[in-house]
Each structure stands twice: as structure tokens, then as C-alpha cells.
Structure 1
Amino acid sequence: MTARMLRLFPGPSEDMALDGAYLAHRLHERGSAGSPFVYASFVASLDGRIAQRDPVSGESRLPAGLVSGNDFRLFLELQAQADCMVTHGGYLRDLAAGRLDNVLQVGTQDATRDLARWRTDNGLTPQPTLVIASASLDFPMPDSPARHGQRVVIATGAAAPAERIARWRAAGHEVLIVGAGASVEGAPLADELGRQGLRSIYLLTGPRMLDTMLRDHRLSRLYLTTAHRLLGGESFHSMLAGPELGDAGRLRLCALHYDASAPDGTGQFFAHFEPRPA
């Protein structure tokens, strides 16, 4: 049975198919070289948890109560529209350790071939450029980008370890210096990727990158899935951590949809927001 959801805002309400709902946003057409369209997505509980942290090992995990096939389908549709995806060294370390699944490529499974065709039909490269943001530059390089002919770029800050920058460059990888300290900064990263012709930039990087893109006024849109579940727990991650954002955190609701069936029949909201101009 095809998944359905109810559009609540903007009205009037409408029952609609879930598949294709985010592809209809055509994010790959919204940006330009001078002003790339930068978007992020998160899934959270009603009490604001995006991940829980093991108090002994310190490892983070996505709680099973937040996971659903419907949310994952929309995630894949956002991925399919990207000229480039920004990930981080922590994800690659977790991937190598078997703690997370590989989501670095588009349309490589039988169930997602339609997204590969969508990219071809809409003039995008078979795979988005993969940008790895890292301050330490200490991460393993997975083999899947090379197997799929995917361009890989490493992004770091000026104070990152010089010997590791040299090592990655010697291995044939492009390294961008896009931050005054050790970490990547939002404006330099978005501006440099735009200069390289990457017009739609999907952030798969977590709270720190969201923070710097908001503070630098480079975030174009935030997608948020809210699972109707309270998680609790004393050790967790939320969407942001750090100093108050002030006016940089002002967002306006663009659309809100209700999925009554998932996860586990509790329901969830799919919303997207855009920053309000200062």
C-alpha cells in the first residue's frame, strides 16, 4: 500500500502521497553558484532528542523509536536533489566500526533505483559530490565512493594538523581550508562549494554544522521530522549545542504534514522551515 500523509499547512488540508512529496520541492533548482541552496534535515522526539549517548562508551545512536520507513524515504528524496552532501569524520568512523549504515550514495539499491533515474532525468550527476568536514582529519576513507565514481572533497580549518592535510593531499584527495580555526565554518564552506558550481548542498553533519550555517546566514531550509514519542534519558544530543543563537535562530514554518501510521503507529510530523530575514 502506498504511504499517505495529510498536509496541514498551508491549508486547506489535503490527503496526499508521501512518495515524491519532497522531490516536488526541486531543491536542485533553487540555488546558484553565487548563492547555493543549503539545507539540513533532522528527526527528533517530542522532547527534542535526536540521538542518545551511551554513558559508558560515549557512543551515540539513533533511537529505534525515531526510525521509520516513511521518514527514510523522504530523507532519500532530499539526498537525491543534492549536488553535494556534507558529512563528517565521526560518521565515517562509525561507519567503519559497523555502528551505522552507509547512506553516502543515491539509488544504489533496487528499492531506490527510481531516485537514480530521477537524478539522470533532471541533469544531475549520477552521484553527488561527497564533502567530508573534519577538524582532526582522523577518519577512515570508505571504499564506496571510489566504487561508484563519486567525487570526494575534504574540508577542514586552517589550524587543522598540517601533517594530516599533507597526507590526504598526497593520497590524491582535494582538501579545502574553509575556517580560521581547526573547524569548518559555514560561510567559507558554502561560498567555496558555490564557486565550484555546487548549487544544492545537503548537510548530514549534525548540530555543529547547523549552528555555523545559521550563524553565518547560509542555511536556506531546515527539514524536521518529529516523532510523536517522548524518549527521556540523561545523556543525549539535541539539534543544537552551544551559545544562544539570537536572531539567527528565527525560522518560519513553510509546510507541515502529518503521517498517522509511523513510527509504530504513534504518528509523526514532517515540517520544513526557512530562516526569517533579519
Structure 2
Amino acid sequence: MTARMLRLFPGQPEEVAVAGAYLSHRLHELGSEASPFVYASFVSSLDGRIALRDPATGESRLPAGLVSDTDFRLFLELQAQADCLITHGGYLRDLAAGRLDDVLQVGMQKAANGLARWRADNGLPPQPVVVVASASLEFPMPDSLARHGQRVFIATGAAAPPERVAHWRAAGYEVLIAGAGQSVEGAALLRELDMRGLRSLYLLAGPRMLDTMLRDGRLSRLYLTTAHRLLGGESFHSMLAGSELGKAGRLRLGALHYDSGTLDGTGQFFAHFEPWAHGPEL
């Protein structure tokens, strides 16, 4: 039986199939030379945790009970629509250590049924470009990127360690300077990627990248899965960890779905939001 979920907004409540729900957004068609389409996704508990952190080692982990088959399928549909995946050095370090799975290719997982064909049918190359954002430039490069023929850019700030910039350039990678300090800045990164013809950009780089894209007014859409459980814990990561966003943090709900059958029946909300640049002042 095909997995179903309930669309609560917009319109009257209606059951829809999970497969294809996010493909119907056709994100790869929404970007342009004037404005690349930048989207991010997160999975959160009701108390705002996206990951728990071990106070002793500083290592982070995705808690059990946040991700479901429905969420993973929708994540893969977002991935399938990207010209470019923007990740970060921390993810590559965790990947090399075996703490996280490799999600930098389309169509590799069982849940990705039909997504490689969908990319081909919609004029997208077999695999997206990958951008690694890093201030320190200390990370291993996974073999899977070369094995699948993916173009890779490394993005950093102007104050990044020059010896590390030289290291990656000597290894044959194009290093993009996208920020005045050591960290990558959203607007500067988009200028570099726009010049290279990339139009649909999926952020897999965590809270810091979300923060800079919001502050620079460059985020086009935020997808958020909310698991109906409280995690607690004194050491954790949330979607943002910087100073107050003010107007840059105002969002408007675009759609809301509900799956009551996930996570042992506790369920999840699946929502997406867009910046509310012209909304009333609060």
C-alpha cells in the first residue's frame, strides 16, 4: 500500500501520497540568474532539538525517534531537485568517522526509488554539484564524490588558513573565497555559485549556514519536520545559535502535512515556510 499523509494547509484537509509530494514543488525550476533558489531542511523535536551533544567529547548525534521513513523519503525528494548540495567540513569529518551516512548522491538508497530517473527526465545531471563550506578547511574528502563524478567546490572566507587553501588547490579543487572573515557568508557564496550557473541550492550545512542565509536575505524556503516528542537534555543543537535575527527571521507557512503513523504512532508534522519580507511589523 502506498504511504499516505494528510495535507492540512492550504485548502481543505486531504489525503495525499508521500511519494512525489515534494517533487511536485519543482524547486529546480524556481531559481534564475537573478535569484538562485536556496532551500534548507531540518528535523526537530517539539522542544527544538535537532541533535544532542556529548558534553565530554563534544560529538553530536541525531537522536533516535526523530527521523521516519516518511521524513527520509521527503528529504531524498528535496535532494533530487538540487543543482548543488551545500555541506560543511563537520559533516565530512562525521562521515569519515562512521557517525553519519553518506547522503551526497541521488538514487543510492532503497527509499530513493525512481529519483535518479526523475532527475534524468527533468534535465538534471545524474548527480548534483557539492560545495563544502569550511572555516578551518580541516576535513577529509570522501571517495564517493570522485567515484560518482561529482564536481566539488570548497568555500571559505578570506581569512582562512592560507596553507589549507593552498593544500586544497594543489589537490585540484577550486576554492571559493566567500566571506571577508574566516567563515562563509551567504550572499558572497551565492554570488560565486551563481557565476557557475547553479540555480537550485540545497543547504545541508547546519545552523551556521542557515543563519547567514537568513541574515543576508538569501533563503528562499525552509522545510521543517517536527517529531511529536520532547527530548530534553542539557547539551544540544537547535536550528540557530547566533544573535537575534529580528526581521530576517520572519517566515510565512506555505504548507503543512501530518502523518499520524510515523514514530510508533506519535506522528510528525511536515511544513515548509518562506521568508515574509513584506509582512506587517510585529
- Band the TM-score falls in, shorter-chain normalisation: over 0.9
Distance verdict in 2 for CA 1:111–1:225, change over 3 Å: closer
Aligned mates of 2:124, 2:72 — CA distance in 1: 21
Aligned mates of 1:33, 1:84 — CA distance in 2: 15
Aligned mates of 2:277, 2:109 — CA distance in 1: 40
Q: Does residue 1:215 correspond to 2:218, yes or no?
A: no
CA deviations 1:12-70 (Å, max 9, x no partner) are 11011011000000000000122100000000000000000011111001101102111
Aligned mates of 2:13, 2:263 — CA distance in 1: 22
- Give the equivalent residue in structure 1 for 2:37: 37
- Give the equivalent residue in structure 1 for 2:123: 123
Aligned mates of 2:114, 2:274 — CA distance in 1: 28
CA deviations 1:132-169 (Å, max 9, x no partner) are 00000000000001000111100000000001101100
Aligned mates of 1:152, 1:242 — CA distance in 2: 28
Query: Displacement, 1:263?
Result: 1.7
TM-score (norm 1): 0.98
SS of corresponding position for 1:116:
helix
SS of corresponding position for 1:58:
coil
Task: Within 5 Å, give how 1:99-248 maps onto structure 2.
Answer: 99-248=99-248
CA deviations 1:231-270 (Å, max 9, x no partner) are 0110000000010000000000000000111122110000
What amino acid is aligned across from residue 272 of structure 1 in structure 2? Answer: H
What amino acid is aligned across from residue 129 of structure 2 in structure 1? Answer: T
Query: Displacement, 1:108?
Result: 2.2
Aligned mates of 1:242, 1:24 — CA distance in 2: 33
SS of corresponding position for 1:40:
strand
SS of corresponding position for 1:52:
strand
TM-score (norm 2): 0.97
Note the residue ranges of structure 1 that are not aligned, 5 or more in a row: none
SS of corresponding position for 1:214:
helix
SS of corresponding position for 2:271:
strand
- Give the equivalent residue in structure 1 for 2:98: 98
Query: Displacement, 1:112?
Result: 2.1
Q: Does residue 1:61 correspond to 2:61, yes or no?
A: yes
Distance verdict in 2 for CA 1:70–1:90, change over 3 Å: same
What amino acid is aligned across from residue 136 of structure 1 in structure 2? Answer: S
| Percentage of identical aligned residues | 79
SS of corresponding position for 1:153:
strand
Distance verdict in 2 for CA 1:245–1:93, change over 3 Å: same
- Give the equivalent residue in structure 1 for 2:255: 255
What amino acid is aligned across from residue 165 of structure 1 in structure 2? Answer: V
Aligned mates of 2:184, 2:264 — CA distance in 1: 38
What amino acid is aligned across from residue 150 of structure 2 in structure 1? Answer: Q
Q: Is residue 34–residue 195 contact of structure 1 (8 Å, CA) maintained in 2?
A: no
Distance verdict in 2 for CA 1:10–1:113, change over 3 Å: closer
- Give the equivalent residue in structure 2 for 1:2: 2
CA deviations 1:159-187 (Å, max 9, x no partner) are 00001101100110010000000000000
Query: Displacement, 1:109?
Result: 3.6
Aligned mates of 2:70, 2:224 — CA distance in 1: 13
Distance verdict in 2 for CA 1:113–1:267, change over 3 Å: closer
* Structure 1 consecutive aligned stretches of length 4 or more whose deviation exceeds 3 Å: none
What amino acid is aligned across from residue 89 of structure 1 in structure 2? Answer: G
Aligned mates of 2:142, 2:252 — CA distance in 1: 38
Q: Is residue 10–residue 254 contact of structure 1 (8 Å, CA) maintained in 2?
A: yes
SS of corresponding position for 1:78:
helix
Give the aligned length.
278
- Give the equivalent residue in structure 2 for 1:13: 13
Q: Is residue 87–residue 205 contact of structure 1 (8 Å, CA) maintained in 2?
A: yes
Aligned mates of 1:109, 1:249 — CA distance in 2: 34
- Give the equivalent residue in structure 1 for 2:277: 277
- Give the equivalent residue in structure 2 for 1:46: 46
Aligned mates of 1:258, 1:111 — CA distance in 2: 19
Note the residue ranges of structure 2 that are not aligned, 5 or more in a row: none
SS of corresponding position for 1:264:
helix
